[in-house]
Amino acid sequence: MNTILGTWHWLTTAEHYRGTAGVPHRLLEHVVISGIAVGLAVLIALPLGLWLGHVGHGGAVAINVSNIGRAIPTFAILVLLATVPSLFGDAGAVLALLVFAIPPILTNAYVGMREVDPDVREAAVGMGMAGITLVRRVELPLALPLVAAGVRTATVQVVATATLAAYVGAGGLGRFIADGFGLQDTPMILSGAILVALLALVTEIGLGRLEVGLTPGRRRGSPTPGDAAQVRG
Amino acid sequence: MLCGGRGFGRGGGHATVPFVAANPWFSWSYITQHASELLSATRQHVALTVWSVLVATCIAVPMAVVARRWGWSRGTILTGVGILYTIPSLALISVLQAYFGLRPITVEIALVGYALLIIVRNTLIGLDGVPAEVREAALGMGFGPTRLLTRVEIPLALPSIMAGIRVATVSTIALVTVGAIVGNGGLGGLILEGLNNLYRAEIMAAALGCVLLAFIADLLLLGLQRLVTPWTRRRAG
């Protein structure tokens, strides 16, 4: 009971919302670190996955990268990168998060493009479409549900894993948990945990809504490969 | 801080390494010199994983059966395990440690929570995939609901359930490492220790150990899957 009251007290203390160690600034750090990692991952993995799916090669690589990614502990990669002095902190965190954001985006883009009905593709080719036009007008719109699911999965995972980055000197909401353990301040730890969980849930639900809005044809509630490709952190 | 690495360099007694301790990315001598430490960490890692996946399976399969039989509960169950899955592991473990302390159970509860989603979802996919004709044939032969479930539906869903258990196991092995934060992370403990000493060989050895464990576990479960679903092999061959 004391812990719950203490946590409530921590969360309602105005002092914890001011300055560079305050909740708003930590939230901003969390969002910026995650945003940069996801942005870079999309820039790298999306064109590659779409292209591999379009030409129909490299399937084993595009799919296995997700399976291997699942077996590698994110915590280990974060810590390994942090042993490079120039990477200790935000830079190493972004790099580690990037590594784990690529597989779901790549795999889903590839699978999405491959699952386009061959008849539809053939009809488009018969109508004189080829190359970029075929991708842009036919394949990509049909692959969009899976592509979007991949980006959502990667984003939710990055937001969650960014919490761990506090242990390797990065900013973000995870700081409250890591510092709280250091100070043996349970209300601080629990407040951090609540804030992080809320951010992850808001991200998941928000992107889920966005995805449904973007892809009206998708069957609701049917699991997609993207859901299974997530790596926990 | 970098020099604070441990005293064991590469060359043993007559090494003439300078004062700045060698910090290789990988070192066989680390592994051979710390074999017993690695082994006991691995043992804890395996124990945490096996316990968590077993408990998760025992909870998840009945949950999926309930979700399948009573349609109204399906959305609630899937949303519930989905929300649990979304909560970052560090957050969940921190909350749990406030009540359960720095004990293995803290990590195990979190691991069970995350494995639930994967196994519930795969079991549901498997149960949904049982053809209606098969179900009707069984009912026509006089199977009651329990026998229908245990003799027809579960066996037919088994490949999908096993696939879920495999994915859950591999993810759990990677996730156990976070448990190091509360002192029960198997090989993750070595990762955290390596972070504090900035000693790469230790972190790398633990990370590779996790990947190796995941690989072995996946192969073993694949073998088990073949063993319990011999008919899928017969069909394929």
Structure tokens at B152: 């027809």
Residues 83-122 of A with CB under 8 A from B: 83, 85
**What span, in angstroms and rounded, lies between the C-alpha atoms of B191 and B181?**
10
Taking an 8 Å cut-off on Cβ atoms, the answer to whether A83 and B23 are in contact is: yes
pLDDT digits (tens, 9 = 90+) for B48-80: 999 999 999 999 999 999 999 998 999 999 999
Its ipTM equals 0.83
Q: Which residues of B touch A233 (CB under 8 A)?
A: 88-89, 178
For the segment B141-146, the average pLDDT, to the nearest whole number, is 92
Please give the model's pTM, rounded to 2 decimal places.
0.85
Give the Cβ contact number of residue A105 at 10 Å: 29
For residue B3, is pLDDT > 90? no
- CA A129 from centroid of its chain's CA atoms: 34
User: What pLDDT is attached to residue A229?
Assistant: 47
Residue of A21, A62, A70, A37 lying closest to A155 (CA atoms) = A37
Task: Give the Cβ contact number of residue B208 at 10 Å.
Answer: 15
Residue type, A208: G
Contact B78 A221 (CB under 8 A): yes
- Find tokens 């699942």 and name the residue: A70
Mutate to test the interface with A, among B25, B30, B74, B86 (most CBs of A within 10 A): B86
CB < 8 Å to A200, chain B: 86-88, 91
Please check whether residue A196 touches B, CB under 8 A: yes
Interface test with chain A among B1, B94, B121, B165, by most A beta carbons within 10 Å: B94
Cα gap B64→B164, rounded to integer Å: 12
Backbone φ/ψ region at B103: left (φ over 0), alpha (ψ -120 to 50), beta: beta
Q: What is the mean pLDDT of residues B210-228?
A: 94
**Model confidence pLDDT, tens digit, residues A38-55:** 999 999 999 999 999 988
Beta carbon pairs, A and B, within 8 Å:
136
In degrees, rounded to 5, the angle at the alpha carbon of residue B93 between the alpha carbons of residues B92 and B99 is 100
pLDDT at site A225: 42
CA distances (Å), A192 to each of A107, A173, A174, A185, A199, in order?
32, 6, 7, 11, 11
pLDDT of residue A2: 83
What would the two tokens of residue A209 be? 């809504």
Band (pLDDT 50/70/90 cuts) for residue A213 is: confident
Segment A136-175, tens digit of pLDDT = 888 988 999 899 999 999 999 999 999 999 999 899 999 9
Domains and CATH numbers, chain A: 2-228 (1.10.3720.10)
In the predicted structure, residue A130 carries a pLDDT above the cut 60: yes
Angle, vertex CA A50, rays to CA A44 and CA A54, nearest 5: 145
pLDDT confidence of residue B53: 98
Q: Which two tokens stand for residue B140?
A: 């026509």
Residue A132, class by beta-carbon neighbours within 10 Å (0-12 exposed, 13-18 middle, 19+ buried)?
exposed
The CATH fold assigned to B26-236 is MetI-like fold (1.10.3720)
Alpha-carbon gap, residue B122 to B137, rounded angstroms: 24
